[in-house]
Chain A
Amino acid sequence: MLVLAGIAVILAGFLLRFNPLLVVAVSALVTGLAAGIAPVAILAAFGKAFNANRYVSAVYIVLPVIGLLERHGLQERARGAIAALKGATVGRLLIGYLLFRQITAALGLTSIAGPAQSVRPLVAPMAEAAAERQGVRPGGDAIPAMAAATDNIGLFFGEDIFIAIGSILLMKGVLEGYGIVIQPLHLSLWAIPTAIAALLIHGGRLWWLDRRLARAA
């Protein structure tokens, strides 16, 4: 039971708004000590896992290119392109992006889009430009936040259809631990019903957003 103190540290640390890196480090220390692991061994285990997970932070290599293009007007051009497109609405634009993200993620192409690669330079400015034409006042959080949310939802409920993605391999490994051998394809097929539901639910919200804006205008 004592090892659960680490989870309590995380919850308390977040509620009291301490720096999350500090909270995570303290939680690791508390958990390790509660389990009777020596402090140096905790440090080594943490360091080893940190090193093994560097690929998570490797995606930031796109920032210099994106920053350079922004300096030369990429976001403004993205707005202009949408403003010139008749019939473009924030809902239709994001439904299209949701489909694109789900399909490409289902093919294993998870890193071709993302908050740094596509949402900040392209999708968010386009969504804002479309929404402004529908009467949304510029500068609010709601439209860019919806663009980022659409990116996440498309990714999460598309990637599990791909057979070689991390979560599928993890499930295969866990099941094998219990002597149950299942082909990755069999696991990924059962991600399809939820993927369709995600498209309908989130797509429905985006369609509703368009209707709401049309009625308010």
Chain B
Amino acid sequence: MIGTNFIYSVAGLMFWAFAALSAADRANPKRFGNAGFYALLGVSFLFGDRIGDTGNGVLVLGLVAIAGSGAMGRGARRTTDPRERQAEATRRGNRLFLPALVIPATALFGTLAFTAMPRMIDPKQITLVALTCGVILALAIGYAWFRPRPAMPFSEGVRLMDGVGWAAVLPQMLASLGAVFALAGVGQVVGDIAGAAMPDGSLIGAVLVYAIGMTAFTMVMGNAFAAFPVMFAAVAMPLLIGRYHGDPAIIAAIGMLAGFCGTLMTPMAANFNLVPAALLDLKDKGAVIRAQVPTALPLLAVNIVLLYYLGFH
């Protein structure tokens, strides 16, 4: 059955290509740091299921050692300059959009088509499998049209990857930290504190603690998924649903969305807030967060109002 094994093989081989190209980049004084980091990521994608839990833990320590010691830096590979690009953009015209649009189009039609073949394609991974197919198709079109040297797409890819750097694995690291937190019972303790902070006998007080607690805990963990079980157990279940007889579906759904408002405001949500800033070469790494706060705060207020007026009928 085609599923994660297919996606992860493609990703693993790509990271090994990134590692080889980084190692060969003599103009970059930190080339071996980059190469080591990408090589380890390749191992994780290709062999992660075979090296055991402790083996994966050691692999993570390797990634942390390389990133934490400042051994990574941007490569110095040459690409085309703005004038060459402008000339080529004029010459090639709107056809340049086609390969870029092949990826979402394949992802869309693949998702629809693969749903009909649950025995061939893992139903849980349909969209990612379709996306991977789209990437391979677009790459094939790129090779046929531009006739680049075989390594050229990966050389251009590593240029973008270097811009993201170690931040690429921060989301995966935070998800893993969440697993350790769960094992250590952090949620229970945070829940007890939130419960103790609760003003007695006030519905609006309980709604506020729940919604703002979701936002705040999401900001610390970088992920509303980690905050939801904690705040639901601490406030929603005993008070909003237990004592005030709120509708569980509404309390859960809108509470989660209050958490999403927190995701918009925290550097811990690296894949949404720091990675785009790196990919767009922004000078201020907090610029995306600052663009989001004026939407996130009013939206949090809306969620609180919706919880209060829709949740208890």
**Chains A and B bind each other:** yes
Alpha-carbon distance A190/B248, docked complex (angstroms): 11
Which of B26-34, B126-134, B197-205 makes up part of the contact surface? B126-134
The answer to whether B8 touches A58, judged by C-beta atoms less than 8 angstroms apart, is yes
Shortest CB-to-CB span from B190 to chain A, Å, is 7
Alpha-carbon distance A135/B49, docked complex (angstroms): 54
User: Given known contacts A70-B156, A80-B90, is B68 in contact with A19 (CB within 8 Å)?
Assistant: yes
Output the nearest chain A residue to B283 by Cβ-Cβ distance: A141
Q: Which of B82, B139, B248, B303 has the most CB of A within 10 A?
A: B248
Residues of B within 8 A of A44 (CB): 52-54, 57
Residues of A within 8 A of B166 (CB): 19-21
The answer to whether B11 touches A68, judged by C-beta atoms less than 8 angstroms apart, is no
Residues of B within 8 A of A81 (CB): 94, 97
- Residue A214, interface by CB 8 Å: no
- Residue B120, interface by CB 8 Å: no
Residues of A within 8 A of B161 (CB): 60, 63
Residues of A within 8 A of B89 (CB): 72-74, 76-77, 80
The answer to whether B225 touches A166, judged by C-beta atoms less than 8 angstroms apart, is yes
B-contact bits for A10-34, CB 8 A (1 contact / 0 none): 1100100011111011011001101
Residues of A within 8 A of B279 (CB): 115-116, 119-120
Residues of B within 8 A of A116 (CB): 160, 279
- Residue A91, interface by CB 8 Å: no
- Residue A217, interface by CB 8 Å: no
Residues of B within 8 A of A28 (CB): 176-177, 180
- Residue A180, interface by CB 8 Å: yes
The answer to whether B11 touches A69, judged by C-beta atoms less than 8 angstroms apart, is no
Residues of A in contact (CB 8 Å), total: 111
Which among A71, A145, A194 is the interface contact of B280 at CB below 8 angstroms? A145
The answer to whether B178 touches A49, judged by C-beta atoms less than 8 angstroms apart, is yes
Output the nearest chain A residue to B60 by Cβ-Cβ distance: A50
Residues of B within 8 A of A46 (CB): 56-57, 60, 176-177, 179-180
- Residue B67, interface by CB 8 Å: yes
The answer to whether B220 touches A7, judged by C-beta atoms less than 8 angstroms apart, is yes
The answer to whether B53 touches A45, judged by C-beta atoms less than 8 angstroms apart, is yes
Residues of B within 8 A of A122 (CB): 97, 100
The answer to whether B49 touches A51, judged by C-beta atoms less than 8 angstroms apart, is yes
Alpha-carbon distance A70/B99, docked complex (angstroms): 11
The answer to whether B100 touches A66, judged by C-beta atoms less than 8 angstroms apart, is yes
- Residue B20, interface by CB 8 Å: no
The answer to whether A156 touches B302, judged by C-beta atoms less than 8 angstroms apart, is no
Alpha-carbon distance A132/B170, docked complex (angstroms): 34
Alpha-carbon distance A132/B249, docked complex (angstroms): 46
Alpha-carbon distance A22/B172, docked complex (angstroms): 13
Q: Which of A51, A146, A198 has the most CB of B within 10 A?
A: A51
- Residue A110, interface by CB 8 Å: yes
Q: Which of B183, B184, B264 has the most CB of A within 10 A?
A: B184
- Residue B138, interface by CB 8 Å: yes
Shortest CB-to-CB span from B304 to chain A, Å, is 11
Which residues of A181-203 have CB atoms within 8 Å of chain B's CB atoms?
182, 186-188, 190-191, 193-194, 197-198, 201-202
Alpha-carbon distance A203/B295, docked complex (angstroms): 9
The answer to whether B107 touches A167, judged by C-beta atoms less than 8 angstroms apart, is no
The answer to whether B225 touches A167, judged by C-beta atoms less than 8 angstroms apart, is yes
Which among B80, B181, B270, B306 is the interface contact of A20 at CB below 8 angstroms? B270
Output the nearest chain A residue to B169 by Cβ-Cβ distance: A57
Shortest CB-to-CB span from A161 to chain B, Å, is 10
Output the nearest chain B residue to A140 by Cβ-Cβ distance: B283
B-contact bits for A117-141, CB 8 A (1 contact / 0 none): 1111110100000000000000001
A-contact bits for B52-80, CB 8 A (1 contact / 0 none): 11111111110110011010000000011
The 5 A-B residue pairs with the shortest CB-CB distance, nearest first, are: A67-B156, A47-B56, A47-B57, A73-B89, A35-B184
A-B contacts, 19 listed (Cβ < 8 Å): A10-B268, A19-B68, A19-B166, A21-B166, A21-B170, A47-B56, A57-B171, A64-B157, A67-B153, A69-B100, A71-B152, A112-B103, A119-B276, A152-B272, A153-B295, A160-B253, A170-B229, A190-B310, A205-B294
